[in-house]
Structure 1
Amino acid sequence: MALNTESVVADFNLLTGLSKSKESTKRNLSRMKGMFHDDLSFDELVNSESDPLVYEFYELDIPQTAGDILFGTSIVYPGKVGGEYFMTKGHFHTILETGEVYYCLSGDGYMLMENPEGDWKIEKFEPGQAVYVPPRYAHRSINIGEQPLVTFFAFRADAGHDYGTIETKGYRKLVIEKDGKPEVIDNPKWK
């Protein structure tokens, strides 16, 4: 039975105070240039499919002050660029010593994490599964399924986001489909 993602997100947003009328932040594929390792497949997909939506997120609009908790929902849509699964851009927090919690509401995927020292790990997402992202770890959600991957997240409101490091260096590891299954490989473009 297919899950109605819009209904899950709307119900969750209503329960948590995230207004249904609040617009999501959308990331179409063209806004992810350089994030996928297969540049040729990236360009072909952006041009041939009218720039598909890769992910979006809803975030509670609260002051970014110490002591507050920022939270929201994230949706990563199914798809691949070449063999690499659709994913979020990923980020460190500006306050590097910030942890974050994700809770999977629907879909299947992974949370890929790495710290500046080169340690990395990957955790599975499935409905009802919580994933803890430790302080000092960049993190990105990856959808390996046929349905949207929907997660709830929460972290300290003043933590900020550092996307620039990921845009410059990328992640050391990638998750690709190989023989019909997800596989973690070294990123050939990692700097």
Structure 2
Amino acid sequence: MDNTNHKRVAVTKSQLTHHWQERLNGNNLTEMVMRYKDADYFRRKDPTLDPETKIYEHIVKKSEPGEGHLNWGHITLYPGKVDDQYFCTKGHFHVNPDAEEYLLCMKGTGLVMFLSRDGECWCEELEEGSLHKIPSNIGRRLINTGDEPLMLSQCLPSNAGFDFDSIDEHPFTCHVYDDNGELAIEVDVEDTPESVDALQEEDIIAFLKS
């Protein structure tokens, strides 16, 4: 065949791979590991737990911050309990209040806990294949209630940013425990603003559909 009028096109391999139920791999990834010794957000204490125990890992492929750019990440939340409180992430809001986020559960079982700026909490069940939208200006926390790693993929704007300071100032008011084999959610009434009425079911549905 005469190739005089044809140009060669380079074909390369992807720099990022994310196989189902496996961790994200590739070039220029940023990784964070939370260990028990640094996890100061649990309401329970467990002196028998090794301080080096991994609670969760977060790996993210970052794009340059800017309108329309996206980050892709992977979260592994390990199974375990601090006393009777299930392992969970610290949780965060986004620095950019307009940023939304999607979470895809790839493995395991647990809960994604939502937190409004008014201190109200509600949860959705996590199971393999479930997809969860985190609305703008809503915080979220992940809880592993199973006996295997809880693995999730995430997609969010590159200019979202992680706001942990707001969680330090206004913590999650709900906590998830193992009550003799049964899942129990306790609410810290004293931490819930008295001036704010509890979110009604229709308000929560509106958040999730926004």
TM range (shorter): 0.7 to 0.9
Give distance in 2, aligned partners of 1:31 and 1:136.
Answer: 26
1:67-88 alpha-carbon deviations (Å, 9 max, x no partner): 1111111000001112111011
2:119–2:172 contact (8 Å) kept in structure 1: no
1:107–1:127 contact (8 Å) kept in structure 2: yes
Give distance in 1, aligned partners of 2:28 and 2:70.
Answer: 21
How far the C-alpha of 1:157 sits from its partner, in A, is 0.9
Q: Could you say if the C-alpha distance between residues 116 and 7 of structure 1 is closer, same or farther in structure 2, counting changes exceeding 3 Å?
A: closer
Q: Which residue of 2 aligns with 1:3?
A: none
Q: Which residue of 1 aligns with 2:43?
A: 37
Give distance in 2, aligned partners of 1:168 and 1:29.
Answer: 21
2:105 partner amino acid:
C
Give distance in 1, aligned partners of 2:28 and 2:182.
Answer: 38
Within the candidate set 24, 27, 32, 2:31 is matched to 24
Give distance in 1, aligned partners of 2:125 and 2:170.
Answer: 24
Give distance in 2, aligned partners of 1:20 and 1:150.
Answer: 20
Scaled by the length of structure 2, the TM-score of the pair is 0.76
2:22 partner amino acid:
V
* SS at 1:145 equivalent: coil
Q: Could you say if the C-alpha distance between residues 119 and 7 of structure 1 is closer, same or farther in structure 2, counting changes exceeding 3 Å?
A: closer
Q: Which residue of 2 aligns with 1:138?
A: 139
Q: Point out where structure 1 has 5 or more consecutive residues left out of the alignment.
A: 1-5
1:13-47 alpha-carbon deviations (Å, 9 max, x no partner): 3xxxx4178463101011211x1112x42xx14xx
TM alignment of 1:1-191, pairs within 5 A? 8-10=21-23, 13=24, 18-19=25-26, 22=29, 24-33=31-40, 35-38=41-44, 40-41=45-46, 44-45=47-48, 48-187=49-188, 190=191
1:25 partner amino acid:
M
Give distance in 1, aligned partners of 2:130 and 2:80.
Answer: 22
1:95-137 alpha-carbon deviations (Å, 9 max, x no partner): 1122211010000010001111233210000000111111111
Aligned residues: 174
1:74–1:152 contact (8 Å) kept in structure 2: yes
* SS at 1:71 equivalent: strand
2:56–2:76 contact (8 Å) kept in structure 1: yes
Give distance in 2, aligned partners of 1:84 and 1:21.
Answer: 35
Q: Could you say if the C-alpha distance between residues 128 and 82 of structure 1 is closer, same or farther in structure 2, counting changes exceeding 3 Å?
A: same
Q: CA RMSD for the aligned pairs?
A: 2.1
